[in-house]
Chains A and B, each alone.
Chain A
């Protein structure tokens, strides 16, 4: 038994008590991430508010985890969603299957599906983690045009204070975030409940029947 080694060890642990702690006080303080961190999906719009998605199902084919289900529909003059002929009638992503690889992003011909840096989507039921268009499509009043990370206010990733200096959050502008499957608007440190975009309230999506 080496007594000197024991005292060295004691000195080490004593010294460590006064070092800076590695812990980030997580739900209240969040670690800064890369601006284009791969997190929760978003379906983007054009500048005029039209949906970018044309329902081509390429993302569904590219998805290595079979997480995406797209059912295309025809645009009509009375019910126009996207500039072209077709739009996504149904667009669902099972976030529990998703591996956040971003291949849907790469496959998309119109840059409609995009990964945002939001990463907090824990929930109590599996069905609530199947995100449909009501949760994926960015409301026209927030993010029209630019990709999430290129928006003037940046894409907020979370609802708390962001640790370290570099942050992608702009609390002045207010943003949509997802908390327990509910979209909520947060601004200047305050949290507001959903402002229904397009008149549609956030709802539980129906459970997908056997995949195609």
Chain B
């Protein structure tokens, strides 16, 4: 029956379903973050809207929508208004190729691209345009400083991140995301690529501008960084972009290092595989929030030094060793 549908309609339906799921997931990641942070700080977090605060995201959404949408008089009006959409668009686009489970006819994803990992990295690195254009177009000091930091930070950490992922690609000898997961059916890449995994999670935190690498929006120094001037729904879009990026890098970490949907009894059972996948992604998201509840922000020069002098050499070393091992033994 599914085969009878025209391809464009199938893709449109898949995209719509995935969009709804991802946006809902964003909303509850945000709630989970507030809850978990509160619990770590001996508070209880939002608990008034709905049972256990479960309707808080809806209340937040209503608040965001009805807030005034301000544009500073010094801002570049077109780019200022466009920037949040670039951020969300690039954040969402990555889900076009991310597979969530393995069905009978192929992986469960909108598109099964054979260079999926390259596509994801190409798209997510475009996300920095949203941030730097927002800061630049705001026509104000703090956003500009924030976006300058964003550009520098993203470029610095993108290198190490890509280097750590190339190790996985070498070992799996494919750039297809579902191919990489299949290559882990016996042994998850977290074991042979443990150094790469460590580098990946550190750089992933930096890439998504999260604590302790949230210098882009460092409250204590830059008011709110690149989105200082934004309010209402446009601010909400940046928020969405940040959390969706978080979910994206968690999905990638799961696919690349934790064996994706692989798990006991998952072969031939797509739903069980999906469950494993979701559990792994949630574990990553929790780790993110956990980090935020624990670590203080790095100083800017330390951040740059750590990226260029520690992570990049380590990632290069990891890549070199992997390349030699793969060349000699595989």
Contacts and interface: CB of A to CB of B under 8 A. Distances in A.
Interface of A: 1, 6, 9-10, 12-14, 16-17, 19-23, 25
B44 A21 contact: yes
Given A14-B290, A17-B36, A6 B42 contact: no
B215 to A, nearest CB: 16
A16 B42 contact: yes
A23 B44 contact: yes
B294 A23 contact: no
Contact of B294 (A13, A22, A25): A13
Nearest to A20: B42
A9 B42 contact: no
Most buried by B among A13, A14, A20, A23: A13
A98 B117 CA distance: 67
A22 to B, nearest CB: 5
A16 B295 CA distance: 14
A1 B212 CA distance: 13
Given A21-B44, A23-B44, A25-B44, A9 B295 contact: yes
B42 A21 contact: yes
Interface in B34-77: 36, 39-44, 47
B203 to A, nearest CB: 15
A13 B40 CA distance: 5
Contacts of A13: 40, 290, 293-294
A20 B43 CA distance: 9
- Please classify how large the interface on chain B is, using the bins under 10, 10 to 19, 20 to 34, 35 or more: 10 to 19
Nearest to A15: B40
8 contacts: A9-B294, A13-B40, A13-B290, A14-B40, A16-B41, A21-B39, A21-B44, A23-B42
Contacts of B300: none
Interface string B256-297: 000000000000000000000000000000000011011100
Interface string B187-222: 000000000000000000000000000000000000
Contacts of A23: 42-44
Nearest to A12: B294
Interface string B288-318: 0011011100000000001000000000000
A10 B211 CA distance: 13
Nearest to B306: A1
Given A13-B290, A14-B40, 12 more contacts: A6-B294, A9-B294, A10-B290, A10-B291, A12-B294, A14-B290, A16-B41, A17-B36, A20-B42, A21-B44, A22-B43, A23-B44
Contacts of B39: 16-17, 21
Nearest to A7: B294
